[in-house]
Every structure is written in structure tokens, then in C-alpha cells.
A and B are shown apart, each in its own frame.
Chain A
């Protein structure tokens, strides 16, 4: 009755994204004990055109994703493609099988980040490598990368963190107010 995810596993994955002027190139490599083929799902985002660079089977295009099958060679499977249009989210091909548990098995490199762009609103959480590159090591493969973008001060992340601080402040104030009113009631009861 209770479902389980796929049994075969990918050992590790390295994703390289190069951001250009209105386009991006993605090269994804997966390391795995040689199965016959590797099924991948690629999120389909509106306003985005994907052009496969290396030989794959014809993509099976659904409303929300493309399914692609590639043949691994010598324990390595590779797919690369170019993207045009909306680059606010870069889709990553996610294998049908899970990743072997353990840290450091996924590495995502993003090159061509405009200098000075803040990394606090990225997904997965990117860390700067030099001035124009960034890197992330999430524990599982994400379905897309949200690269650093030009934005104002009020990002969702900042608003959320301010929300937490505001809640803590409110809770503290209401606790102080309650203590004061209890003390007042206590003093009145004692006739002070």
C-alpha cells in the first residue's frame, strides 16, 4: 500500500551552467553503475526554448516536462542543451532513479554570473566562487536552478526573515503585556 521511490541509484551528478546574453548552456553528467539507459525529466518552463545539443532519443513532451532517455557509456551519462528566453529558472534533467545517500554527490556550477549580483535569493543556495561564478552542493538533484537575478531590497527571502523577527517581537511584547496585567491584577487583589 505504501509506495517507494525507484530502487536503482545514481552515484553522483555534476551540472555545469553557463549564463550568456539571453541564453544559457547546460551540461549535465551522471555517474552510475552501467544500466541500459537513463531516463531523465526536464521541467518545462513557459517562455523558454530548449535545444538539445547531444544525441538523445526524441523527447517525450508533456504539459509540464520533457522526458529524455540517454545511453550511459563507461558508467557516465551526459546530456547538454541550450536555453533561450526566460532564464529566471534553468531546468535541470532529473534522473528517474534516486541518488546514492551521502554528502557531496551533487555539484552545480554556474558560470557567467554578472559581478556584484547578490546570491541570497537563489535556489539551490549558491555560494560565490570568484567574481563571476557560483556553486551549490545540494543533497539531491533539484529540478531547476534559480540563478542570481537583479532585484530590489524586498526579496521573498528577506520578507520571510523579517516576518520571523516581527513574530518574535510580537510574541515578546504580548508576553510582557500579559505579565504586567497579571501583576496589576495581583496588586489590586492584595489591595495595594
Chain B
């Protein structure tokens, strides 16, 4: 296994490096770096959206959660897909038509407010630092289980290699690399399932075994109320996820964006089902692992035949790298484009902005390392936390802001800040009472954000008509071409 894995990893990293170097020749301006010159088509775009969505949270965290809690966790996918559909119909087309470079660009333009833009940029950096912690922690778990190396070393290798290809080619190299990564993930996971089923001797005996271990594994480990809260967290955060929205900007046009979302849901369906099956069958084969987060790597390294196992390990690393890469692009752009370029040096040249973006990427990649080493929770729990924050401060200003013309700058600022703080406060104080109240932090955060957005917008100065017109073009008169 060791030799096969070494060869497969070497081939994979050479391929990634080759694509990154080739893409770097086409990256001259900030638009090339952040939006790939708006050239990405539906199939590559769909694979990119899937790769961005499928992270360590899925291949390590979700798989581990299925291992530990069984089938019911799968239902949160419906929340994820609902989020994608909201995005496809109410968010993505308008954002793509607007043609910005970053999500704070949208906030700044839609609400005609530089403070709103800055706040969005800061909150994005904070929330995605949490998300990076989960990705780094997952890479540490994989490295420890498979290679027996220290988590810090593994995290540094991951940060180094991902930052390298992000730095070289920006979104263009990321898009083609993520297309490759999605194909690897889908094939690796799909091939692994029949091998596990074959080892376990089919479905009947293993499923009876699982039901006898804990009858909730095949039933309702989580009740519908808890699943709804998780589904809302994921759905609302995806509908307005900055790292997904940035990818819309890189696609050819609005139609391409919608097609790409459909392709992406198809990939996610296959990946979701495979992860469920692998989680359950790994529990059958190894019922009592010390850490559920190690289920995926132990299964890949100890159960699957060497080539399939190596492919799956590469798929797991790909999932982590693609998400880390997307987050770094978004947070780097938030710092360079939305904060530095807008507030510190307004007349910076394109070359200078790309340089600042690259430096930001390196710095922002190193900060989460410290937190990942503290291991505050399992990977899936950290992913859920960041999803709650993103949903709480971003869903309302993005989705309602794009579809309700009366939203104002003060409303957007109150909504983002209020939603974030409400979610944070509830997380720090109210989680223990979840069962008693049946209310989750994300619901409090989104509700606060909505109420503040509607009320404050009603009583504050409207956004200048020129800004509103960009997102709400006047209806065509009869007889217009």
C-alpha cells in the first residue's frame, strides 16, 4: 500500500502543479486571478461548485458522522440542495449579471455603502478562518491515521501545497484542478462502496448487525427537529456562501451558472450516497473506532485494495485542498480587494493588488493552524458552526437584499452585525437549552438578521436609485425589443 500510495500521490501533485503553472501564464490582471476571465463552462463549473461544497466536512466529518450516528444525518443533504436551489433561482443569476469580483463588492454596490462592504469582508474572514480550522484538523487526522506523522507537519504540507497552486493561477488554475478533484472524489468513493459491501457479505447481515448495535443507526439518531436545524444551517449558508458565489462570477453567463448548479447537485447526490454507505459499512467492519473522524482514512488504508485506497486518500486530500483553496481565494480577495484596495490604497495598480492578494493568502492560511492544533471539536461540529455563522449574517442581506429593493445600507449593517452577534451569543450561552427550547443558534441568528434588516431598512434612507437599478432593472415596456 505504501508504495502505491506514494506513486499515486506523486502523480496527483505533479498534475496539480502542472495545471497551476500552465494557468499562471494566463493570469495577468486581478479579474483573471479572482474570476478566471469569466470563462468557465457548465460542466467544469458544476464540478468546481461540487468540489468547493464537498470538503473535509464531507469526506472526514460527514462520513464520520454516518459512522457514529447512522442514516439520519443524510437528510441534511435536502437542506444543502434547498440552499443550492435558492441560490440558482434567487441569487446566482443576479450576481453573475452584476459581474462583481467579490461578494463584499455586491454588498458595497447594492447598498451603496463602503462600511457595509468592509463589515462583510471582516465577517467573511472571521467565519472562514473557523472553516479552515476544520479543514486543517481533518488533514491532521488523515495524516496521523495513514502516515503516522504529526498533525502540524501534515497541516503545513497541506497549507504549502494548496497556497502554492492558489498563488500561481488564482481561480483559473483552481477551477481546472477542482474539476479533476471532483472526478477523483466521485470515482474513488463510488469504487469503494462495492468493495466494502463485498467484504461485509452483502447488505442483510451487516444491516441487522448495525440495528442490533444501536437501533438508532438505521432509524432516527437525530430527531426531525435537530435535523431541520442542521439543514437550515447548511441550506441558508450555501444559498449565500461567499466562496460559492465567487465561483459564479468566473462562469460565462447566467445560464451557465444555473446549469452548473444542476451538475453540481448531481455530483453531490452521488458523493452523499457513497459517503453514507461507506460510513455505515466502516461501522460494520470496525464497530468501535477511537475517533469517528478516522473512519474514512482507516477504511481507505486498511480495507480497500491498495490502488483504490490510494485513490480515495487522494480524493480526501483533494476535497480538503479544494475547499481550502476556495476559502483562501475568498478571504484573500476580501482583504486585498475589499479592505486594502478600497480603504488603504485606492489607486493601487492591478499588479500591486494581485501581490497583496497573494500575501494575504499566505497570512490567512497560517492563522487557523494554531486553532486546528487545539482540536476544539470534531470536524463536522466545526463545519456546522461556521455554516451557522455564515447563514446568520449573510443569508438575509444577500437573498432578501437581491429580491427586495427597499433594503438599505443601515439595514444591511444592522442585519449582518445583529445576526452574527445573536448567533454567537446563543452559541456561547444557549446551546445547553437546545432540547428544552427546540431552537438552534442559526434560527436565532437568521431571525434577528431578518427582523433588523426589515425594520432598520424601513426607517432609514433608501439606497441611491442608481445602485438599486443595477439589481432591479426597470421592466421592459410593451414593444421593446
Kindly identify, within residues 66 to 83 of chain B, every residue whose CB is under 8 Å from any CB belonging to chain A. 68-69
A99 touches B288 (CB 8 A): yes
For A61-91 the 0/1 string (1 means CB < 8 A from B) is 0111100000000000000000000001100
Residue of A nearest to B230 (CB): A1
In the complex with contacts A43-B205, A88-B201, A63-B289 CB distance below 8 A: no
For A, the interface residue count at a CB cutoff of 8 angstroms equals: 48
- Taking CB atoms, residues of chain B closer than 8 Å to A143 are 209, 284-287
Q: Is A32 an interface residue (CB 8 A)?
A: no
Residue of A nearest to B68 (CB): A3
B311 touches A164 (CB 8 A): yes
Complex-state Cα separation, A6 to B213, whole angstroms: 13
* Selected contact of B288 from candidates A95, A101, A163, CB within 8 Å: A95
Residue of B nearest to A98 (CB): B290
B305 touches A160 (CB 8 A): yes
- Taking CB atoms, residues of chain B closer than 8 Å to A88 are 201
Q: Is B187 an interface residue (CB 8 A)?
A: yes
The B interface, classified by DSSP as helix, strand, loop or mixed, is: helix
Q: Chain A's nearest CB lies how many Å from the CB of B99?
A: 26
Q: Chain A's nearest CB lies how many Å from the CB of B243?
A: 25
In the complex with contacts A41-B213, A164-B187, A99-B303 CB distance below 8 A: no
B213 touches A64 (CB 8 A): yes
Q: Is A138 an interface residue (CB 8 A)?
A: yes
Complex-state Cα separation, A16 to B302, whole angstroms: 19
Q: Is A18 an interface residue (CB 8 A)?
A: no
- Taking CB atoms, residues of chain A closer than 8 Å to B289 are 5, 98, 140
Residue of A nearest to B440 (CB): A1
A-contacting 9-mer, from B161-169, B191-199, B244-252, B323-331: B191-199
A160 touches B288 (CB 8 A): no
Kindly identify, within residues 327 to 376 of chain B, every residue whose CB is under 8 Å from any CB belonging to chain A. none
- Taking CB atoms, residues of chain A closer than 8 Å to B194 are 156, 160
Q: Chain A's nearest CB lies how many Å from the CB of B70?
A: 11
Complex-state Cα separation, A103 to B148, whole angstroms: 9
B201 touches A89 (CB 8 A): yes
Q: Chain B's nearest CB lies how many Å from the CB of A150?
A: 16
Kindly identify, within residues 365 to 392 of chain B, every residue whose CB is under 8 Å from any CB belonging to chain A. 377-378, 380-381
- Taking CB atoms, residues of chain A closer than 8 Å to B311 are 164
For A139-161 the 0/1 string (1 means CB < 8 A from B) is 11111101000000000111011
Complex-state Cα separation, A158 to B377, whole angstroms: 38
- Taking CB atoms, residues of chain B closer than 8 Å to A120 are 305
For B265-300 the 0/1 string (1 means CB < 8 A from A) is 000000000000000000011111110100000100
* Selected contact of A64 from candidates B183, B208, B381, CB within 8 Å: B208
A5 touches B292 (CB 8 A): yes
Kindly identify, within residues 1 to 34 of chain A, every residue whose CB is under 8 Å from any CB belonging to chain B. 1-3, 5-6, 9
- Taking CB atoms, residues of chain A closer than 8 Å to B34 are none
- Taking CB atoms, residues of chain B closer than 8 Å to A110 are none
In the complex with contacts A41-B287, A94-B288, A160-B194, A5-B68 CB distance below 8 A: yes
Q: Is A129 an interface residue (CB 8 A)?
A: no
Residue of A nearest to B216 (CB): A3
Complex-state Cα separation, A163 to B304, whole angstroms: 13
* Selected contact of A63 from candidates B195, B211, B286, B287, CB within 8 Å: B211
Q: Chain A's nearest CB lies how many Å from the CB of B187?
A: 5
Complex-state Cα separation, A140 to B378, whole angstroms: 19
B208 touches A124 (CB 8 A): no
Complex-state Cα separation, A89 to B285, whole angstroms: 11
- Taking CB atoms, residues of chain A closer than 8 Å to B39 are none
The A interface, classified by DSSP as helix, strand, loop or mixed, is: loop
- Taking CB atoms, residues of chain A closer than 8 Å to B213 are 41, 64-65
Q: Is A52 an interface residue (CB 8 A)?
A: no
* Selected contact of A142 from candidates B209, B286, B434, CB within 8 Å: B286
- Taking CB atoms, residues of chain A closer than 8 Å to B306 are 161
Complex-state Cα separation, A144 to B209, whole angstroms: 12
- Taking CB atoms, residues of chain B closer than 8 Å to A171 are 183
Q: Chain A's nearest CB lies how many Å from the CB of B480?
A: 35
* Selected contact of B210 from candidates A64, A95, A99, A140, CB within 8 Å: A64
Q: Is B9 an interface residue (CB 8 A)?
A: no
* Selected contact of B308 from candidates A63, A139, A141, A160, CB within 8 Å: A160
Q: Is B403 an interface residue (CB 8 A)?
A: no
- Taking CB atoms, residues of chain A closer than 8 Å to B381 are 2
Q: Is B156 an interface residue (CB 8 A)?
A: no
* Selected contact of B212 from candidates A63, A123, A144, A161, CB within 8 Å: A63
B69 touches A161 (CB 8 A): no
Q: Chain A's nearest CB lies how many Å from the CB of B10?
A: 14
- Taking CB atoms, residues of chain A closer than 8 Å to B198 are 156
B307 touches A161 (CB 8 A): yes
In the complex with contacts A64-B209, A123-B199, A124-B303, A140-B298 CB distance below 8 A: yes
- Name which of B148, B192, B194, B305 has the most chain A CB atoms within 10 A of its CB: B305
Q: Is B399 an interface residue (CB 8 A)?
A: no
B287 touches A94 (CB 8 A): yes
A140 touches B226 (CB 8 A): no
A65 touches B191 (CB 8 A): no
Complex-state Cα separation, A144 to B381, whole angstroms: 31
* Selected contact of A2 from candidates B145, B287, B305, B378, CB within 8 Å: B378
B290 touches A5 (CB 8 A): yes
B288 touches A97 (CB 8 A): yes
Binding site for A on B (CB under 8 A): 1, 68-69, 145, 148, 183, 187, 191-192, 194-195, 198-199, 201, 204-205, 207-213, 221, 226, 284-290, 292, 298, 302-308, 311, 377-378, 380-381, 431, 434
Given contacts A63-B211, A95-B288, A124-B303, 20 further A-B contacts (CB under 8 A): A2-B378, A2-B381, A5-B292, A43-B209, A45-B205, A46-B204, A63-B212, A65-B213, A88-B201, A98-B289, A125-B1, A140-B298, A141-B287, A160-B192, A161-B308, A163-B308, A164-B187, A164-B191, A165-B307, A171-B183
